[in-house]
Amino acid sequence: MARDGERVLFIATAEALDEAMQRRIAAHRRYRPEHWDTLEEPIGVTRAVRPLVDRYDTFVLDCLTLWVSNLLLEDEEASDAECAVLEAVRRLLDLIDAAGGRWILVSNEVGQGIVPASPLGREYRDVLGRVNQLVASRSDKAYLMVAGLALELKSLADPSPGA
């Protein structure tokens, strides 16, 4: 989807905290087109992207899953962590609305697996589910990728004739 863009900004939220993640990040970089710019920002995505929106026509945020994890781990003891994460996502979505262009937000569906054993794991799963719902509700399209195949979800949910 992003390959159609003339000026693409890839926004990476992963941090290379260990060798395995360093290898994953290096592999991602190799598969990205050379003319794409990359912004690495694990926490302050909206703040970092805001001054750049006029320079690009396409934005790829990879990924919401790690961004939410980073936000939750930033202050594990916060009693209102979910509210803070959802507010950060709303600020990003407001920036997207104001900026225009094509935005592709990548996330994972973590709610289809087992219930995590730890309280933080359960909170993460639940918060990411709410983030994904919020983002999908404000998106023109939402895709579920399975085995390399895209299933467009919003058209399936549209009860109107011909949808």
Q: Are 16 and 65 in contact (CB under 8 A)?
A: no
Taking the C-alpha atoms of residue 76 and residue 71, their distance in angstroms, rounded to an integer, is 9
pLDDT in tens, 100-112: 999 999 999 998 8
**Sheet with 37-40, side-by-side order of all strands:** 37-40, 8-12, 58-62, 102-106
Quick one: 156 exposed, middle or buried, by C-beta within 10 A (0-12, 13-18, 19+)? exposed
- Confidence bin at 126 (pLDDT 50/70/90): very high
The pLDDT value given to residue 13: 97
Q: How confident is the model at residue 35 (pLDDT cuts 50, 70, 90)?
A: very high
Q: Dump pLDDT digits (tens) for 49-74.
A: 999 999 999 999 999 999 999 999 98
Percentage of the residues of the chain whose pLDDT score is greater than 90: 85
Pairing state of beta strands 58-62 and 8-12?
A: parallel
Pairing between strand 8-12 and 37-40? parallel
Please identify which of the residues 28, 91, 130, 154 carries the catalytic annotation.
Answer: 28
**Residue 35 annotated as catalytic:** no
Strands of the chain (E only): list them: 8-12, 37-40, 58-62, 102-106, 143-146, 149-152
